[in-house]
Amino acid sequence: MLQIVYISTAQPGFAQSDLREVLEASRRNNAAVDVTGLLVAGGRRFLQVLEGPEAAVEATLARIKADPRHRALVNLSSKQVDARQFGDWSMGFELGGVPGAGDLNAVVANLVAKLSDRNLAAQFLGFAEIHARAA
């Protein structure tokens, strides 16, 4: 199974409605091809994990990379894993660092507490710390 982690930046004008569309498409498409993962939006930054069958993850990532609603996609890691970290979610989601949202540090800390991959947990915690106030 392949697991990839990337960060990207929302294009100016990216709105709540875009986020809703992204999540709807993610949940529909990922469930159909056995991809699971997590998307964290901190201010204008995204951090996403995708995991599942290699071909499905790569096809999903290729589609995401071509999406004009965000830019500057940087792959942080790409590795083979034995088990999923987010097996319950076709695409879990957390939001922080924007008016009206919760404390990103707290939600992410709660979320990664159950991860067996502590490096991945540390990546998320670092991201939350940097972007919690970066609206």
Ligand X SMILES: Cc1cc2nc3c(=O)[nH]c(=O)nc-3n(C[C@H](O)[C@H](O)[C@H](O)COP(=O)(O)O)c2cc1C
Residues that bind ligand X (CB under 6 A): 8, 22, 25-26, 29-30, 39, 46, 48, 50, 60, 63-64, 67, 69-70, 91
Task: Give, as one character, the DSSP assignment of residue 102.
Answer: -
CB of 60 to ligand X, least distance (A): 5
Comparison of 7 and 118: residue with beta carbon closer to ligand X: 7
**Tokens representing 135?**
């609206």
How distant is the alpha carbon of residue 85 from its chain centre? 12
Comparison of 51 and 118: residue with beta carbon closer to ligand X: 51
CB of 46 to ligand X, least distance (A): 4
Comparison of 9 and 105: residue with beta carbon closer to ligand X: 9
**Tokens representing 112?**
């990664």
**Tokens representing 52?**
């599942």
CB of 69 to ligand X, least distance (A): 5
Residue type, 22: V
Helices 16-32 and 54-65: crossing angle in degrees, nearest 10, is 160
